[in-house]
Amino acid sequence: MQNTKFLDTPIEYLKGIGPVKGELLKKELGIFNFRDFLYHFPYRYIDKTRFHAISDLHENSGQVLLKGTLRRLETIGEGRKKRMVGRFRDDSGAIDLVWFSGLRWLEKVLQVGSEYVVYGKVYSFQEKKTISHPEMELATQAGTAERPSFDPVYPSTEKLNNKGLDVKNRRKLVRSLLEGLPEGAAPENLSPRLLQALQLMPHREALEQIHFPKDQEALEAARLRLKFEELFFLQLRLLQLKTHNQERIKGYVFEQIGNFFHTFFEEHLPFELTEAQKNVLKEIRRDLKSGIQMNRLLQGDVGSGKTIVAVMTMLMAIDNGYQACMMAPTEILAQQHYSGVKDYLEPLGLEVRFLSGSVSGKKRKTILEDLGAGKIHILIGTHALIEEPVKFHQLGLAITDEQHRFGVEQRAKLWAKGKPFPPHILVMTATPIPRTLAMTLYGDLDVSVINTLPPGRKPIQTLHKTENHRLQVFGFIRQEIQLGRQVYVVYPLIEESEKLDLLNLEAGYHALSREFPPPQYQISVVHGKMKPADKDYEMQRFVEGKTQIMVATTVIEVGVNVPNASVMVIENAERFGLSQLHQLRGRVGRGAEQSYCLLMTGFKLSEEGRERIRTMVQTNDGFEIAEADLRLRGPGNMEGTQQSGILQFRIADLVHDGKLLEKVRNIARKVLDEDPLLEKDENQPLKTYLDSHFKSWKGWSKIS
């Protein structure tokens, strides 16, 4: 038993580290104990399997390994230009080795006439090949016969290097930790059946080979083994939670599809539902009559018709005698949902009310009383819905929009509003999530996708324009306004340069005012620094068509629905992430007219910026865009995933390991189908590992 605790030993007790270096490892790399140190894997390897001949080297040779003799060593230049140059020779030729720092120490340790193994990157200087600051070991010490084929290189920082925790010393420390690892300290956590069926390397061997692989094949096998277990245990836990929730968390049974639903569907539905919408409603219907609490994520691109699905789900709740609520992250978005739902349901005589922080006094008191008495069928609002005084008569369904903008505690309070059971939960998001990310982020939720646009919607045309097209763009805006359309002009607002960005917005506003002068043209301005009342006033003017142009920061990314707006101009588009650009573009294209998105950038673009713009011009598909965003930015930087923590994988990579993740999930599902509680002897390693590493982790959907 003692051995299993060995890896929990605080890092300062590792020989060669001590309190000072230990503190630094905690601060710089989050390494607190032996386990963290051992599972902090190399990010690349130095290939020392073969020596290069000096005569074969050229400036594109990259990192090379040489074996030869140090023939000469001299110090050249003065002051800043002072450097040490060594002439290094093998049987095929010679090359200069150059050092710019640590010269005194090098003079003492380097031995002219001795044979060395040298490793470094080849540069070309004044048509001469050189290696700067090479790694050097005496050939007699290098022990090339028994040395590892690959030397690991670990993520590090300048502070660590200065304190003697550079690459070389880290290697020594990891090697000594591995050599001193007691039997049972890193036990096998997969069942013998899985190891055999999947031909996976044993856990202990994988740990040794990931740090000091004997060859490329062993390295690949170790990587596969460690990636597999990282993804496997996460999926096993997610699927366990999902099953647990379905078995333990009872939900209200909505048995009937009643009068309100039928009347709305047959007489008031403003357009025909798409096949995707019908399928989602069937999935929801199945959940609602199962007697288990629904926990469903509804993904749908901007404008794909999620709201109508939400309305019809609320009607299912009302038909069965329950109340429904809908919570949105901002007042503007909540107000927009309220207007839309009210318009849809007014003909049915249903009571739909709005509640936010700005609703106060007598009006608020009446809403709270009516809600408690069951007179209100649907309550829509901001997080004001989850405050203490808000008590429902019988809440059966809670819908949240853009869930990632709410904290876990806020969502938990929403659960507590239902008595005796928690309400059924429908989570909507217009942020398309790549499949691999959805399986990881929301693996314990049921996921529905609306992937087609309602009929009659034309795809938005996206064009890339640079500063020299400015007059052409003004002309195009004028032409659209003359056709009776409206235009958004959006500026980035990045916290670090907020003042500068607001100045940009003001300069843009003045330029537009000169080009589109009153009284013929009216312009609204909206940004996050304005008072909410002023912001709402300006938004409202635009919604009502009193202004033709809205100049704004990204506050409109999630929000106003103006079917008459047909042009979105995004200034400095290279400063936005792909998902954000896609969200902004979705503000237009909501009517039947052809809409346009103009991406304005400078001439100089980074390779990543160019790729983002190219993707936007080529596709309107949110899921394709999300995949590209994942590829460009990585999972930890995607909106809504930063706080998840679980995405900080040690070795797996959602960008490249999508196929492995799907395979792993299927295997995890099969294991749990055969042995739901992991009680079989062969599954004891799985159970032990899950209990020790995932015991306190509750997943995403279990938000209470």
Question: Domain check: are 86 and 27 in the same one?
Answer: no
Task: Indicate if 278 and 420 belong to the same structural domain.
Answer: yes
Bridge partners of 327?
Answer: 381, 400
Strand intervals (E) in 57-177: 63-76, 83-90, 93-99, 115-125, 128-132, 135-138, 150-153
Q: Return d(Cα 424, Cα 397) in angstroms, integer.
A: 5
Q: Look at residues 383, 409, 429 and tell me which one is the last residue of a structural domain.
A: 429
Does 409 share its domain with 490?
A: no
Could you give the CA distance from residue 474 to residue 120 in angstroms, rounded to a whole number?
55
676 in any annotated domain: no
Taking the C-alpha atoms of residue 54 and residue 68, their distance in angstroms, rounded to an integer, is: 9
**Which amino acid belongs to residue 176?**
S
Structure tokens at 136: 């050097």
Q: Are residues 396 and 475 in the same domain?
A: no
Domain identity same for 39 and 87: no
Question: Are the C-beta atoms of 254 and 316 separated by less than 8 Å?
Answer: yes
CA angle 615, 617, 623 (to 5 degrees): 50
Looking at the fold, whether 425 and 494 belong to one and the same domain comes out as no
* 442 domain-assigned: no
pLDDT of residue 453: 75
CA–chain centroid gap for 137, Å, is 43
Is 225 among the domain residues? no
Distance between terminal CA atoms of the chain? 34
What the block records as the tokens of 92 is 């095929």
Contact between 431 and 301 (Cβ < 8 Å)? no
pTM over 0.85: no
Whether 114 maps to a domain, the answer reads yes
Q: Can you give the CATH number for the domain in which 80 is found?
A: 2.40.50.140
Burial 379-411 (b: 16+ CB within 10 A, else e): bbbbbbbbeeebebeebbbbbbbbbbbbeeebb
Judge if 266 and 348 occupy the same domain: yes
**pLDDT average per 10 residues of sequence, the chain (704 residues):** 77 93 92 93 83 88 89 89 92 93 86 91 84 86 57 86 86 93 90 93 95 92 95 89 77 91 91 91 94 88 85 96 92 85 92 92 94 95 88 93 63 77 88 72 76 78 93 95 94 68 82 92 87 84 92 69 89 87 85 89 89 92 80 59 54 81 91 92 92 66 39
Residue finishing a domain among 599, 619, 639: 619
Judge whether 642 lies within some domain: no
Q: Tell me the residue ranges of DSSP E strands in 149-203.
A: 150-153
> Do 131 and 87 meet the contact criterion of CB atoms below 8 Å apart?
no
CATH classification of the domain holding 390: 3.40.50.300
My answer on whether 357 and 491 are in the same domain is no
Residue 483 lies in a domain: yes
* CA–CA separation, 118 and 71 (whole Å): 14
Number of domains within the chain: 4
Asked whether residue 398 is domain-assigned, the answer is yes
Q: Which of 619, 645, 666 is the last residue of a domain?
A: 619
Q: Are residues 400 and 498 in the same domain?
A: no
Q: CA torsion angle for 390, 395, 401, 406 (degrees, to 10)?
A: 50
Is there a single domain that holds both residue 375 and residue 508?
A: no
| Residue range of the domain that includes 527 | 461-619
Backbone torsions φ then ψ of 64, nearest 5 degrees: -135, 160
pLDDT of residue 646: 45
CA–CA separation, 265 vs 328, rounded Å? Answer: 25
Sorted by sequence, the CB contacts under 8 Å of residue 263 that are 6+ apart come out as 348
Shared domain check, 122 and 163? no
Assigned token pair, 250: 């009872």
Note whether 473 and 613 are same-domain residues.
Answer: yes
Would 702 be classed as within a structural domain? no
